[in-house]
Structure 1
């Protein structure tokens, strides 16, 4: 799982940084999530596999450090999901001026920095729990060492709160986007922010899929997080079988592997940039330059009504 997650996360980060056309606020939040995923996929997963195999370092301090980095990566990744969801919600449902004012470069940088500060704050109780587990002596076997962090009430509560804090934000934003896309005459692909001008009447089936893509992102997030959330909450009161806890934890870890595909597999700009890099076109300078963000926002402004009155909405439809 770690090997499968490192390459796509690195690739998305590289494209977002290297290709000028992809340097947008939304892609910055996606790349931020991929960087957090790398803490889990590139560092924690290989070391945890070694620990389960009995060949990893057994020092209590190293164990606490490894678990702390795990929570930092998990919290920052979950916060990135919320940042992407809110960004898309504001872009599609609010006025263009609101989006431009809110997502200026400096403010977007502060949002990314704040997500890491919050993630670091979440690591404090995790380190305390790991230290107490180490004080009780070495684990009896590799399996108990694998589940020790999740078994600690404080660590489990911290992870549960991280999931609880992000789920309402993701659900609200994507369902609002879904409703707006469904009721508008012209459709907007919320996965790559391109205005679709000729779909409503000639391609009704394809037109309806745009909203389903949003629900697919929301469903994948909930599928990976909610089962583990309920197990963590139940574990605070009753004994949860280790096999169930471990299996749901592995399901949760798939989120860090699939995130790059989740946000880019329908993004035509990412696919074009990937083909350009593979063919060497980007290095020869033939890749398309950055498209002004104002043009994309201006295009969106023609899709949705700026007023709330019924008359203005009907005029917009006509």
Structure 2
């Protein structure tokens, strides 16, 4: 069965279309690479950012770099010149693309599950589940699982399709195999991966949102007479957390579901090029938005970034970024209300 879900096809794109696509790719490459490298650099440089939650974010940033810093430049050259590098290099770029996509999606699930346990479960459960060794195992498992999903393409024997040679995405694996993104087996795996990660992300964030709403109702009922005189804006923080959860879910769904639809429908009938290209571009935006999506509400990331701008890298410990001996919020809980501690950790 002919696959109709390949993101770009040179026979369907004119000169102006190539220019627009190449310009968008270049912007994604520069912005995505900068943001992902910045997140990794901040976590490595500042000790207080070295937490379990941030480890999953860094894992996703590394995977996003495979797409933004390695695959996209190769794709821009392919679009601009109509010719690729050596088949071996081209095949490696395509393999890293699929590897980066899979690990990035798995990282979304790890982050969502981490926050779900952090907010909805008892602190002891979080401490026991997200010990350093367990977190490392989860990260390693995400890469091993992605490599396992890549195996069907590596062992396949399909030959490159004849026809239009211009912009033939991922044309060969040592001159014999087709692109990982045009292999039917990998299309199915990618579709199943997107569907599974969407279900996990929606479930975890829906539970978080429900917990936030219940917390708001309890505070309003128990403190309705003194709500205006509370020494802290607890309900407002809960509302901001709920809005943040909805934002994360919304961006994830907007960037992934169009491609999922294209992959599913493309197995049955041809999908118009406009739909394929739009869905793929939206999907690529996810790798650019990930660093901002998971750090813009984190006060420690903002404080660390400001210290970088002020040139205080060498004095990282002097800007309120002390080491954290346990990668959880367990040390915070005895000093204040657990719900406030959770929300402060999230923000």
Within the candidate set 48, 56, 75, 1:48 is matched to 75
Determine the structure 1 residue equivalent to 2:287.
256
CA 1:94/1:109 → structure 2, altered by over 3 Å: closer, same or farther? same
Following superposition, the deviation at residue 298 of structure 1 comes to: 4.6
Give the TM-score normalised by structure 1: 0.84
Determine the structure 2 residue equivalent to 1:190.
none
Give the TM-score normalised by structure 2: 0.77
Following superposition, the deviation at residue 299 of structure 1 comes to: 6.0
Following superposition, the deviation at residue 211 of structure 1 comes to: 0.2
Determine the structure 1 residue equivalent to 2:339.
303
Following superposition, the deviation at residue 256 of structure 1 comes to: 0.1
Following superposition, the deviation at residue 149 of structure 1 comes to: 4.8
Q: How far apart, in 2, do the equivalents of 1:56 and 1:96 lie?
A: 55
CA 1:214/1:133 → structure 2, altered by over 3 Å: closer, same or farther? farther
Pair 1:170-2:206 in alignment: no
Q: How far apart, in 1, do the equivalents of 2:240 and 2:337 lie?
A: 22
Q: How far apart, in 2, do the equivalents of 1:274 and 1:80 lie?
A: 23
Determine the structure 2 residue equivalent to 1:61.
88
Following superposition, the deviation at residue 30 of structure 1 comes to: 0.3
Residues 95, 301 of structure 1: 8 Å contact kept: no
RMSD between aligned alpha carbons? 2.4
Residues 96, 300 of structure 1: 8 Å contact kept: no
Following superposition, the deviation at residue 33 of structure 1 comes to: 0.2
* 1-10 vs 47-56, greater mean Cα deviation: 47-56
Determine the structure 1 residue equivalent to 2:232.
198
Matches within 5 A, 1:132-171: 132-134=158-160, 136-137=161-162, 140-145=164-169, 149-171=180-202
Q: How far apart, in 2, do the equivalents of 1:166 and 1:220 lie?
A: 14
Determine the structure 1 residue equivalent to 2:211.
180
Q: Deviations over 1:163-191 (max 9, x none)?
A: 1121111000000000101111489xxxx
Determine the structure 1 residue equivalent to 2:60.
33
Residues 52, 130 of structure 2: 8 Å contact kept: yes
SS state of the match for residue 303, structure 1? helix
Residues 16, 23 of structure 1: 8 Å contact kept: yes
Q: Deviations over 1:243-275 (max 9, x none)?
A: 321221111000000100100111111000111
Residues 78, 167 of structure 2: 8 Å contact kept: no
Following superposition, the deviation at residue 58 of structure 1 comes to: 4.6
SS state of the match for residue 158, structure 1? helix
